[in-house]
Amino acid sequence: MDPTGMKSALAGFCTGVAVITALDPAEGRPVGMAVQSFSSVSLDPPLVCFCPAHTSSTWPRIRAAGRFAVNVLAADQEELCRRFAVTGGDKFAGTAWRPGAHGAPLLDGALATVECTLDAVLDGGDHAIALGRVDGLTAHRAEDTGPLLYFRRTYGRLPSPEAGAAPFAARALSSSSMSASMASARSRSEA
């Protein structure tokens, strides 16, 4: 299988974006990474997962912490996402946050946070599959604030209800092709 072809094909799957945060146990400093691979796994027991690359320099520190927070990003947090998507630098410089119940950073402005204890790490090829046992959930923003979306290497959002748009209709932040593709998918799903 050609990895480039696989990446291109799977870029057609729209995802939400989250930032996984923890306190580095060796330094006591906050660490974090942006992910598209966050998902709910089980309600009983309550489990979630994300899939960090083995090449990530942040993942080993989150793994060593043993506890982490998933910060589900809102549509107006694209700049924050870009900051946490890069390697190196102080990603928390200028970032407002507060410690969660177990110390993991909870980012201000997130739609929701999911506080977790690392339950298991499974092999996922060139990525790990990190399972987190949910210790706490918090919704932070009003329901009319939509999620930050990622589709074909472009960020996007759902329109706000006050714009009068139908639910789940997409409006691209950076690309009209995202809007057209998602509107097409919506019409197929409503048929």
d(CA 168, CA 157): 9
Please give the C-alpha separations between residue 173 and each of 10, 155, 164, 165, 177, in angstroms, as whole numbers.
Answer: 20, 6, 18, 16, 10
Backbone angles phi, psi at 178, to 5 degrees: -65, -45
Name the band, by pLDDT with cuts 50, 70 and 90, for residue 139: confident
Query: Which neighbouring-strand residues pair with 23?
Result: 30
More confident residue, 133 or 191: 133
Q: Mind listing the pLDDT tens digit for each residue in 68-95?
A: 999 999 999 999 999 999 988 889 999 9
> Could you tell me what percent of the chain has a pLDDT over 90?
60
Q: Mind listing the pLDDT tens digit for each residue in 177-187?
A: 333 333 333 33
More confident residue, 174 or 49: 49
Q: Mind listing the pLDDT tens digit for each residue in 14-66?
A: 678 999 999 999 999 999 999 999 999 999 999 999 999 999 999 999 999 99
Q: Are 152 and 176 in contact (CB under 8 A)?
A: no
